[in-house]
Amino acid sequence: MTGKGGTGKTTVAAALALGLAAGGHRTLLVEVEGRQGIAELFGLGPLPYEERRVAGTADGGEVRALAVDPELALLEYLDMFYKLGAAGRALRKFGAIDFATTIAPGLRDVLLTGKVKEATTRTADRRRVYHAVVLDAPPTGRIGRFLNVTAETARLAKVGPIKTQSENVAALLRSPMTSVHVVTLLEEMPVQETVDAIGELNGLGIPIGKVVVNAGRPPLLTGTKVSQAELRRGLAAAGLPTDRATVSGLYAEAKAHLTRRELEESLRVELAELGQPMVELPLLPSGVDRAALDTLAAELLGTR
Amino acid sequence: MDRILADLGVRIIVCCGSGGVGKTTTAAAIALRAAERHGRRTVVLTIDPARRLAQSLGLTELDNTPRQVKGIEADESGGELHAMMLDMKRTFDEVVLAHTDPARATEIFANPFYQAMSSTFAGTQEYMAMEKLGQLHARGEWDLIVVDTPPSRSALDFLDAPARLSRFLDGRMLRLLLAPARAGGRSMFSLVTASFGMFSRVVQKVLGAQLLTDLSGFVAALDSMFGGFRQRAEQTYRILQARETAFLLVAAPEPDAIREAAYFAGRLGEERMPLAGLVLNRVHRTAVEGLSAERSRAAADELERAGGHDATADALRVHAALAEQAVRERRVAAAFTDAYPAVPMVEVAAQPADVHDVDGLRTVGDALSQP
């Protein structure tokens, strides 16, 4: 799940993880930017680097969440191959791991996406542990670079396990198992970034899923153009004040609303021209609680 | 806002806040007003402006130098507006060139590590924005610099980036990694160097020898620049703490943006950086204060039942939704104002359409300056 900052991609990612858990499944919701957005959303304290249950569904499904820490992911990775033990902890204390994940941004992204791949393909008793893994990914401006792991690491690591790892991740990200959804608002910048990101991902051969239009508002005007004269008559019929301030105030509000709607409509057309499936999610006026997430999940998956 | 702009002692305005709250537009509107109304020779440093806004400021190419914006109304005031868009990589290149000789610079530019770091290093954009601010400040050509900050994952990144990058470039870690023997000898480091010898072996195994060679070349080439980098980061940091700087928090009345703003206000206090106020963008207000949402909606329902006044019923529903939104937004914003009652706040009403011309910026400027 990607999208411009502020479009609500964490919320949409969480709703999708919940929706996919329905039917008694287990899903994993992953964040990689250290923002602790999942914890915030579910009203929990900061999540450790550990898969832990954050929500359940009525039919026995559950959502687990994981905040990937690149340092710990590197340690885990090194440990898997080289059995570091106490020496690994010493490295961490000295900042060596921070250093290694900082010097090579590509390396950092391979570790993050690598962790997602590991969770996605993990099995227990010959069954996949997770029915689905939802990644709250970096925003549209960085998504191409983040998911194009092979290119980034190929520049730095020409051989070795990191290279193999990045190739495996790249293969998964380009397979039908992956779908990148883009969250947007009906506002100019997010729509522009959505268009750009989809172009970029297309070029990289990474499968794109839905365009999610978030925080949409239902149309309030039936389309009949309102005039001040009609307003005055209508207000009188409803027994409301018909003074000039009220009439011109309501008139200005209706006009601004119409302007806004026209702009939204043209942006909607621009998004539709991308040719991806589109889904619109309602604005949640009273904030995001569990019921709201369930509503979003139903809309996202078309199960409403 | 006019009070801040009229204060000639204020020479830098930094707009910060989370992404998607209209930071760039706010920065541009402030700079325009400073030039038109206050006669100041102003430069605005934008990071990633919307295309049409950039075009309206004449920013058609990313050439990393300020260009004068033509067609503004500053004849009377005598002010000027210059605008530039940050080119992260080019700024980094300039820093390298300023600190080393051309032969070495060429070597650095060709190194894959430099290429990766100058374009993708987490925090490079933040650091380079601050570096550019330092450069513009040092040139002394402008009496007001307005800076937009990068759309970071966290609004704090640009404060932390200089320290992080300079710590990294300081190279102690780099040199230890590449030459554990050099740092050894002293007993207190023995465990560390032992780990490091092993670490570099692990790195060599994991990443391959080529990577270490490149890294080694990168470090050797950068070696002469470490001191300079840190000095510059410290200088910029001190400028940000100075009396001539005013920080403006930019937010929208949404929970995430307000939370970030509150966090940032706390952080600025800790860093002893001067917070001038909060700009609350995209605020919805109703034009008919006396008519409540409930009454408006009930009347709409009634009109619909009776028939004949559909258009008025629609308008009343629009009003009800707006009135509810206004109440909600006030409640959200209170989380900030309750925590920081002493921080001045100015509200900018939501525009029906996005701002992408100088007229639109002027409207925002007027809103920022309302008493």
In this structure, what are the phi and psi dihedrals at residue B341, rounded to the nearest 5 degrees? Answer: -60, -25
User: Within a 10 A sphere around the Cβ of B166, how many other Cβ atoms?
Assistant: 20
Average pLDDT, chain B: 82
Q: Which fold has domain B2-168+240-284+333-368?
A: Rossmann fold (3.40.50)
Name the percent of chain A lying above pLDDT 70.
86
Matching CATH number, A2-218+272-301, of 3.10.450.50, 3.40.50.300, 3.40.1670.10, 3.40.50.720: 3.40.50.300
Choose between B201 and A229: higher pLDDT. Answer: A229
Q: Mind listing the pLDDT tens digit for each residue in B259-273? A: 889 988 998 999 888
* CB of B363 less than 8 A from some CB of A: no
pLDDT at B303: 94
- Kindly indicate the confidence band of residue B195, based on its pLDDT and cuts at 50, 70 and 90: low
* CB of B70 less than 8 A from some CB of A: no
pLDDT at B352: 77
Please state the rounded mean pLDDT for residues B90-112. Answer: 84
Q: Which of B246, B268, B253, B231 is nearest to B138 (CA)?
A: B231
Q: Which of B254, B82, B289 is nearest to A187 (CA)?
A: B254
- pLDDT beyond 80 at B351: yes
Report the residue from A138, A188, A220 with minimal CB separation from B318.
A220
pLDDT at A46: 92
User: For A11, which residue in chain B has the nearest alpha carbon?
Assistant: B256
Residue type, A136: D
Parse chain A into domains and list their residue ranges.
2-218+272-301
* CB of B116 less than 8 A from some CB of A: yes
Report the residue from A159, A224, A237 with minimal CB separation from B306.
A237
* CB of B199 less than 8 A from some CB of A: yes
- Distance (Å, whole) CA A32 – CA B171: 27
Residues B133 and B161 sit within 8 Å (Cβ to Cβ): no
- Secondary structure (H, E, C), A130-199: CCEEEEECCCHHHHHHHHCHHHHHHHHCCCCHHHHHHHHHHHHHCCCCCCEEEEECCCHHHHHHHHHHHH
Parse chain B into domains and list their residue ranges.
2-168+240-284+333-368, 170-225, 293-328
Q: Which H helix or E strand runs over A63?
A: strand A62-67
Q: Which of residues 237-266 of A touch B (CB under 8 A)?
A: 237-241, 245-246, 248-254, 256-257, 259-260, 263
Do B315 and A234 count as a contact with CB atoms less than 8 A apart?
Answer: yes
Q: Which of A75, A165, A188 to mutate to test the interface with B (most CBs of B within 10 A)?
A: A188
* CB of B45 less than 8 A from some CB of A: no
CA B112 from chain centre, in angstroms, equals: 28
Residues of B in contact with A192 (CB under 8 A): 50-51
Do A250 and B287 count as a contact with CB atoms less than 8 A apart?
Answer: yes
Residues of B in contact with A103 (CB under 8 A): 113, 117, 168, 215
- Kindly indicate the confidence band of residue B182, based on its pLDDT and cuts at 50, 70 and 90: very low
- Distance (Å, whole) CA A182 – CA A177: 17
Residues of A in contact with B116 (CB under 8 A): 104-106, 152, 155-156
Do A189 and B303 count as a contact with CB atoms less than 8 A apart?
Answer: no
- pLDDT beyond 50 at B186: no
Name the percent of chain B lying above pLDDT 70.
76
Q: How far is B227 from chain A (nearest CA, A)?
A: 19
- pLDDT beyond 80 at A58: yes
Please state the rounded mean pLDDT for residues B114-122. Answer: 66
Residues of B in contact with A82 (CB under 8 A): 202, 205
Do B122 and A163 count as a contact with CB atoms less than 8 A apart?
Answer: no
Do A226 and B321 count as a contact with CB atoms less than 8 A apart?
Answer: no
Residues B325 and A261 sit within 8 Å (Cβ to Cβ): no
Please state the rounded mean pLDDT for residues A285-304. Answer: 88
- pLDDT beyond 50 at B192: no
B303: Cβ contacts below 8 Å, ≥ 6 apart: A234, A237, A238, B309, B310, B312, B313, B316
Q: How far is B201 from chain A (nearest CA, A)?
A: 11
Residue type, B173: M
Residues of A in contact with B205 (CB under 8 A): 82, 160-161
- Kindly indicate the confidence band of residue B188, based on its pLDDT and cuts at 50, 70 and 90: very low
Q: Which of B328, B321, B370, B334 is nearest to B349 (CA)?
A: B370
Q: Which of residues 281-310 of B touch A (CB under 8 A)?
A: 286-288, 290-291, 295, 299-300, 302-303, 306, 308-310
Choose between A145 and B123: higher pLDDT. Answer: A145
What is the DSSP annotation of A203-248?
HHT--EEEEEEEEE------SPPP-HHHHHHHHHHTT----HHHHH
